[in-house]
């Protein structure tokens, strides 16, 4: 927000050019962010996923590792992100047989001068892409949906929850 509480795009300067936000004068605080998304697939692909019969290996553990690695490398993927020392990065899954879906929840924490929303969102996105990659032989029409921030805490703006 700007001084008059109007929304602004913090990665653009006054002339509209891109910039990395200067966090040099901010104090480090405990920060946390949680993102969530869903992968929806055919009944056949879901059956293979849950039976652990996918030819490429154990899908969810692979997706978990991929998500954690992505969170750790977020600044290499998103051009204006700051490199952050993560104190925690985790990825969890909930299977829903009725909808043939996997809900992915990723959480990142740090003690830094800027938030970890992008790290949590990147972890969730890459975990979802990994599930797609490992299940695409059974279903090319897999849908990745609703990847979004659901909670953040810390910093000047404090606590935030999605509706």
22, pLDDT greater than 70 = no
How large is the greatest C-alpha to C-alpha distance in the chain, in angstroms? 57
Is the residue at 10 inside a domain?
no
Domain limits at 42? 29-154
- Whether residue 120 is predicted with pLDDT greater than 90 in this model: the reply is yes
H/E segment holding residue 46:
helix 43-51
| pLDDT at residue 94 tops 80 | yes
Asked if 123 and 106 count as a contact pair (C-beta separation under 8 A), the reply is yes
For 30: left if phi > 0, alpha if psi spans -120 to 50, otherwise beta; the answer is beta
Q: Which of 13, 22, 111, 133 is catalytic?
A: 133
Asked if residue 7 belongs to a domain, the reply is no
More confident residue, 87 or 1: 87
Residue 131 lies in a domain: yes
Q: Is 163 contained in some domain?
A: no
- Verify whether residue 92 is a known catalytic residue: no
Position 90 in a domain: yes
Task: Please tell me the predicted confidence (pLDDT) of residue 4.
Answer: 55
Copy the structure tokens of residue 124. Answer: 């969730």
- pLDDT above 70 covers a percentage of the chain that reads 87
* CA-CA-CA-CA torsion sign (54, 55, 58, 59): negative
Q: What is the pLDDT of residues 102-119, one digit of tens each?
A: 999 999 999 988 889 999
Length in residues, the chain: 163
- What is the CATH classification number for the domain harbouring 144? 3.30.70.640
In a domain, 15, yes or no: no
Per-residue b/e over 111-126, b at no fewer than 16 CB within 10 Å? ebbbbbbbbbbbbbbb
In-domain check, residue 145: yes
Per residue in 41-50, pLDDT (tens digit) is 999 999 989 8
Q: Look at the chain and report how many structural domains it folds into.
A: 1
Residue 156's pLDDT is what? 81
Q: What is the pTM of this model?
A: 0.87
DSSP tally for the chain: helices H, then strands E: 4, 5
On whether residue 41 sits in a domain, the answer given is: yes
pLDDT band for position 52 (cuts 50, 70, 90): low
């Amino acid at each position: 927000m700007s001084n008059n509480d109007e929304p602004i795009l913090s990665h653009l300067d006054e002339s509209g050019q891109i910039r990395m936000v200067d966090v040099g004068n901010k104090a480090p605080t405990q920060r946390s962010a949680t993102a969530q998304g869903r992968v929806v697939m055919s009944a056949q692909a879901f059956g293979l996923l849950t039976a652990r019969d996918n030819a490429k290996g154990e899908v969810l553990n692979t997706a978990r590792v991929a998500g954690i690695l992505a969170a750790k490398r977020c600044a290499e993927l998103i051009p204006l992100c700051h490199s952050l020392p993560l104190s925690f990065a985790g990825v969890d899954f909930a299977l829903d047989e009725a909808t043939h879906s996997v809900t992915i929840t990723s959480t990142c924490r740090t003690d830094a001068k800027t938030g970890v929303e992008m790290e949590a969102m990147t972890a969730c996105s890459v975990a979802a892409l990994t599930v797609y990659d490992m299940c695409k032989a059974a279903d090319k029409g897999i849908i990745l949906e609703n990847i979004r921030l659901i909670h953040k805490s810390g910093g000047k703006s404090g606590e935030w929850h999605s509706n």
